[in-house]
Amino acid sequence: MTGELTAALSAEYAAIFAYGPIGVQLTGAEQAAARAAEAAHRTLRDALVVSLTGSGLPPAAAAYRLPEPVVDRAAALRVAISVEEKTAAVWRAALSATVDAQRRQALEALTGCAVRATRWRRFAKIDPITVAFPGKAPA
């Protein structure tokens, strides 16, 4: 059970890291959304740290590889979508490895990531803004 949650923790560290450069390239409502998303990922990370205490927590890395350089607004939106899709995938995987409170934690996290990805697709004018199976790799 802890393997999947440890993977989720690493993904959350990476998400928090990514929202730094993402926020720099955005303004207005999009920047506010980036700040809210970063805060949400910090909350998920903190809950995981509590959940995993005593099971050998992976440390946060100094830096994470981004899918592309965040050089402008369009890149920021693409990376934000990517971040939410990747975190959704690790949380979806955690569902199969958890029960009860941890399953609920994983489901709430998956849902939050999926909803944020939807918002970023709307900002990026990607159509459709929804996917059929959030967190599942496209067939």
Given the rule CB under 8 A, which residues bind other proteins? 88, 92-93, 95-100, 103-104, 106-107, 110-111, 113-115, 117-119, 122, 127-136
Q: In whole angstroms, how close is the CB of 54 to other proteins at the nearest point?
A: 23
Q: In whole angstroms, how close is the CB of 121 to other proteins at the nearest point?
A: 9
Q: How buried is residue 88: exposed, middle or buried, by Cβ count under 10 Å (0-12/13-18/19+)?
A: buried
Choice between 43 and 96, CB closer to other proteins: 96
Q: How buried is residue 114: exposed, middle or buried, by Cβ count under 10 Å (0-12/13-18/19+)?
A: buried
Choice between 17 and 116, CB closer to other proteins: 116
Closest to 61 measured CA to CA, from 28, 17, 103: 17
Q: In whole angstroms, how close is the CB of 137 to other proteins at the nearest point?
A: 11
